[in-house]
Amino acid sequence: MHPPLNAAQNPTPERSTYGVGPWPGEWPSEDRYDADLLEHGDTRNVIDRYRYWTMAAIVADLDEHRNKFHVAIENWQHDMNIGSIVRSANAFGAHTVHIIGRKRWNKRGAMVTDRYQHILHHTDVAAFVEWCAGESLPVIAIDNVPGSVIIETFSFPERCVLVFGQEGPGLSEEAIIAADSIVEISQFGSTRSINASAAAAVTMHSWVVQHRF
């Protein structure tokens, strides 16, 4: 068990995973700081830049530089992968996460990152597609079905929604039909598909490579 670090130790991102102790010396006066965290320390899983910041301040700062892609997840089953996809969406700076289907979803894998992420709910695929049309956002389905394009050859639109299905059945027929493009991730082993949350992370990173570097 690693002891909490004092902010004066200038922790690295790797070490600060364990948190930092109370703020040493005179407290900062900016509104973005949380008095309780300054007094007792900050053990949250946040990057060093956001140490001691209020949640509202972190969200506001993220809003200044979120990426232009959205992430959508069909929620017909109680799939634990949804939480993991939300966590990856936060890590890759997704603009918004959309939950299609059941409003309640398994947040366990999100590791509270959903608190920093904008999340919208759509009752069904039709409602989701209508929302996308109103925002002029093309729908990019991620699944290995007939007619799909290999991800390594696909040029992602800068503004788009990446749509993922449930672990096992994949995307619904309605989502496939509604998509502007269908993309699959190249695989070279014996299994037919990879884990849904892994596929989401690969796809988001592919968008980042094309539009952030």
Q: What is residue 6's predicted lDDT score, i.e. its pLDDT?
A: 44
Q: What is residue 17's predicted lDDT score, i.e. its pLDDT?
A: 60
Closest alpha carbon to 202 in 169, 154, 158: 154
Q: What is residue 63's predicted lDDT score, i.e. its pLDDT?
A: 97
Phi, psi of 60 (to 5 degrees): -60, -40
Q: Which CATH number fits domain 69-211: 3.40.309.10, 3.80.10.10, 3.40.1280.10, 3.40.50.300?
A: 3.40.1280.10
Phi, psi of 134 (to 5 degrees): -65, -25
Q: What is residue 11's predicted lDDT score, i.e. its pLDDT?
A: 45
Q: Is 97 helix (H, G, I), strand (E, B) or coil?
A: strand
The model's pTM: 0.88
Residues of the chain within CATH 3.40.1280.10 domain(s) are 69-211
- List, run by run, the mean pLDDT of 10-residue segments along the chain (213 residues): 42 58 95 97 92 97 97 87 95 98 91 95 98 98 94 98 89 96 94 89 98 91
CA atoms within 13 A on the CB side of 43: 5
Token pair listed for 190: 């014996």
- Distance between CA atoms of residues 69 and 92, nearest Å: 10
* 16 burial type by CB count under 10 A (0-12 exposed, 13-18 middle, 19+ buried): buried
